[in-house]
Amino acid sequence: MVEFRLSAEHRGFVDWARAAATERLAPLARHDGRVNRPLLRAMGDAGLVRAAFGGTGDQPRDAAALQLCLLRETLAQVSAEAETALALQGLGSYPILQSGRPECAARWIPRVVSGEAVAAFALSEPDAGSDAAALKLRAERDGPGWRLTGEKMWISNAPDADVYSVFARTTPDARAKGVTAFAVPGDAAGLSGEPLDMLSPHPIGRLVFDGVCVGPEALLGEVDGGFAVAMRTLDLFRPSVGAFAVGMAQSALDATVAYVRTREVHGGPLARQQAVAHRVADLATELEAARLLVYAAAAAYDAGDQPRDQRRRSAMAKLFATEAAQRIVDGCVQLHGAVALRGGHLLEQLYRDVRSLRIYEGASEIQRTIIARDLIDLDANG
């Protein structure tokens, strides 16, 4: 593959996103673990949610993966909370944009893009996380619509979202072939939930569906075709999780370079210690490798590569970038010493924030399984 270079248009987009995030979003961050509606409205006013879908005009279009990655990486360097808020809006509403009935998309997408409505992606359950095809939330026929009964767990933006992209079991014992996707309003009768406390404050919770009724207009895609809706969404967003990791790692490295230049040790800056200088070089090299892997996966998606190749590249990008970010942030904490462990320090916040990236949207172990399954191709070779 030839050397990857961002175009002038891409660089201009990054500059615009950084300015918007710095001036309009960072001052609204509060890190209290609940949905930040003023932040989302500011994000909508700035056009950042529309940009996450690849759009630049009044309406979003189907998402461009590289633009999404650049946006998430840039926002992560300014505010992890703003980045997460934008990513959750995209993840929660993309199934509606890509597979919703026209009336459903018209109801929700403009409100999500403007920051008026909060979206959420409701796939995981207490016993169906990495094995998402094992989900048990039931969707039973009820006249022209369905009645949903069961529970969802680890759902970002729950229980405060205005609309959930929900994946439910419509055909028993059929695993992935018996799952259907629905757009469920957050105020639907019978829907309740509670927030969960996490290591790093994050808007996440549990949902309970007690006979929640949805009509035929809520269907996303086809009956029993919901797993494909979920996978298309994750295939797009998986490399952008890597971009989030790259952005956090870049923020940590920038702070560390500034610190070792000015921290005086043994009569000179810490950076003059060869062990420190070489450690910084290693961290920077690993970061650049992660960034290029993410960009390559996104570019392959945008170029329309075969779905199987896209999935492998996305898994590689997500795996490498999130694991690398964990090591980079840890290394930056080490170079800072005890000061980085104080509450409120940038590195202390990043150290807690970065950990979840190796778990959500497919844990590292699942990414390795996806990669190995494609490379070894057991179905073809026995």
**pLDDT tens for each residue of 66-79:** 999 999 999 999 99
Percentage of residues in the chain with pLDDT exceeding 70? 95
Mean pLDDT, range 358-363, rounded to an integer: 90
Strand locations in the chain, DSSP E? Answer: 119-122, 138-142, 145-156, 163-169, 179-185, 191-195, 204-214, 219-220, 264-265, 268-269
Structure tokens at 279: 């450690």
Rounded CA separation 166/168 (Å): 6
CA distance linking residue 69 with residue 130, whole number of Å: 23
Q: In this structure, are residues 284 and 209 in contact, taking their beta carbons and an 8 Å threshold?
A: no
Q: State residue 378's pLDDT score.
A: 58
Domains and CATH numbers, the chain: 8-118 (1.10.540.10), 120-224 (2.40.110.10), 228-376 (1.20.140.10)
Query: Please, what is the average pLDDT of the chain?
Result: 92
Q: How is residue 185 annotated by DSSP? A: E
- pLDDT at residue number 58: 42
pLDDT at residue 195, as a whole number? 94
The string over 211-224, giving b where at least 16 C-beta atoms fall within 10 Å of a residue's C-beta and e elsewhere, is: ebebeeebbbbebb
- Burial classification of residue 197, based on how many CB atoms lie within 10 Å of its CB (0-12 exposed, 13-18 middle, 19 or more buried): exposed
Evaluate whether 280 touches 335 at the Cβ level (below 8 Å). Answer: yes
* Contact in structure between 101 and 219 (CB atoms under 8 Å): yes
- List the single range of 9-13, 91-95, 378-382 with lowest mean pLDDT: 378-382
Residue 135: which of 97, 176, 102 has the closest Cα? 176
Tell me the average pLDDT across 85-114: 95
pLDDT value at position 128? Answer: 84
pLDDT at 2: 45
Is 83 part of the annotated catalytic residue set? no
Report the pLDDT value the prediction gives residue 25, as an integer from 0 to 100: 95
Q: How far apart are CA 256 and CA 31, in angstroms?
A: 23
Q: If pLDDT is split at 50, 70 and 90, which confidence band does 381 have?
A: very low
pLDDT level of residue 56 (50, 70, 90 thresholds): very low
Examine the pLDDT at 313 and tell me if it is beyond 80. yes
What's the pTM value of the predicted model, to 2 decimals?
0.90
Radius of gyration, CA atoms only, the chain: 21
pLDDT digits (tens, 9 = 90+) for 198-236: 888 889 999 999 999 999 999 999 999 999 999 889 888
Cβ–Cβ under 8 Å, residues 219 and 95? no
Q: What is the mean pLDDT of residues 142-162?
A: 96
Active-site annotation holder among 73, 286, 323, 361: 361
DSSP structure class, residue 212: E
